[in-house]
Copies of this chain bind each other. A is one copy, B any other.
Amino acid sequence: MSINAGSERFYEFDVATQVQQVAAADIDGSVSYLTRVHSGWDIMGNANGGYLLALVGHALTQATQRNHCITVTVHYLAPCPAGEARIVVTPVRSGRLFATATASLLLQTDNGEKEVLRVLATLGNLQDESSGPTQMSQTLENHQPLIAPFEDCVSLSESATNNFAYIHDRLATRAHPGDIAFRDGEKSGVALLRGWFAFKDQRPIDTRALLLASDAFPPSVFNLNVPTGWVPTIELTVHTRAIPAGGPIACFFTTRYLQNGLLEEDGEMWDVDGVLVAQSRQLALAPRQK
């Protein structure tokens, strides 16, 4: 970490999600960005899916000149180790409220570029003030299930998890005590994982960070009678619902249905003011024994 001339701090997440436009737009409007998939945001050498989504999300906001990925879907095509890469953003439609675009992350390999993920997103500019009706089935304060306060939760970055989930060295993320006890062999029996998302270097949480948060916790299904192995995400969709007020972010991840080797994991993210800032859903394969 360091301080630059303008006194803006270089947060690790900002460094790891830098993108640089490399050329004028292509005939079809496509814009290319050079980037680097950074090490240290990985699990056993493969970049975390939420981190990769945040990286591409940054390019999408640049290319569409909109501030927020209102709804973004990523299909993961191949594991992605650290390395030089290119992001191609192709516009689909630009309207008054929203802009839709696709994006690809192409990793440089010895055999040329390899596409590791494909994204379809609609972006827009969320407002801080209210811009329409609100009727919530529950609030963060009375959320069922309840989440323990940040200070009563268990740090994920000071644990045996770090022997392979290096991403947690970057995060100050904590988990609800009973939900993470599977690490000590005590599975709760309910596919629920509550926790607080934050950065170790105290970077404020913005909507780009929410894309990381949506995939930064251990799978909630680890609390069921399954092996705690790799859970390959096929597809992840994140809805950004509001601009978060700093951090940490209260997160709730649940899997209702593990069926024939496929599972969904639903996420809710709330800021400290009790605003729903994002929802996520991913489709994944059942955990595989290492």
By a beta-carbon cutoff of 8 Å, the part of chain A in contact with chain B is 70-71, 73, 75, 77-78, 92-93, 98, 100, 102, 115, 118-120, 122, 127, 130-138, 190-191, 224-226, 234-235, 237, 239, 241-242, 255-262, 264, 266, 275-276, 279, 281, 283, 285-286
Residues of B within 8 A of A279 (CB): 257, 264, 281
- This chain: how many copies in the complex? 2
| A100 CA to B119 CA, complexed, in Å | 11
Residues of B within 8 A of A256 (CB): 136-138
8 Å CB contact of A71 from B75, B102, B138, B259 = B75
Residues of B within 8 A of A120 (CB): 73, 75, 102, 118-120
A100/B118 in contact, CB under 8 A: yes
What are some 7 contacts across the A-B interface (CB < 8 A)? A70-B262, A75-B92, A98-B234, A132-B260, A133-B258, A135-B226, A242-B259
Expressed in whole angstroms, the minimum distance between the Cβ of A222 and any Cβ of chain B is 12
B136/A259 in contact, CB under 8 A: yes
Expressed in whole angstroms, the minimum distance between the Cβ of A242 and any Cβ of chain B is 7
8 Å CB contact of A115 from B93, B102, B119, B131 = B93
B70/A73 in contact, CB under 8 A: no
8 Å CB contact of A118 from B102, B190, B239, B260 = B102
Residues of B within 8 A of A93 (CB): 77-78, 115, 118
B242/A134 in contact, CB under 8 A: no
A224/B258 in contact, CB under 8 A: no
Residues of B within 8 A of A241 (CB): 257, 259-260, 262
Residues of B within 8 A of A261 (CB): 131-133
A239/B258 in contact, CB under 8 A: no
Residues of B within 8 A of A275 (CB): 259
Expressed in whole angstroms, the minimum distance between the Cβ of A93 and any Cβ of chain B is 5
Residues of B within 8 A of A127 (CB): 260
| A224 CA to B102 CA, complexed, in Å | 34
4 new A-B pairs (CB below 8 Å) besides A73-B120, A241-B259?
A102-B102, A134-B258, A135-B258, A137-B255
B100/A283 in contact, CB under 8 A: no
B258/A276 in contact, CB under 8 A: no
Expressed in whole angstroms, the minimum distance between the Cβ of A109 and any Cβ of chain B is 15
Residues of B within 8 A of A102 (CB): 102, 118, 120
Which 6 A-B pairs have CB atoms at the shortest separation, nearest pair first? A132-B261, A120-B120, A73-B73, A71-B235, A137-B256, A135-B258
Expressed in whole angstroms, the minimum distance between the Cβ of A92 and any Cβ of chain B is 5
Expressed in whole angstroms, the minimum distance between the Cβ of A104 and any Cβ of chain B is 8
Expressed in whole angstroms, the minimum distance between the Cβ of A204 and any Cβ of chain B is 21
Residue of B nearest to A135 (CB): B258
B136/A115 in contact, CB under 8 A: no
Residues of B within 8 A of A226 (CB): 133, 135
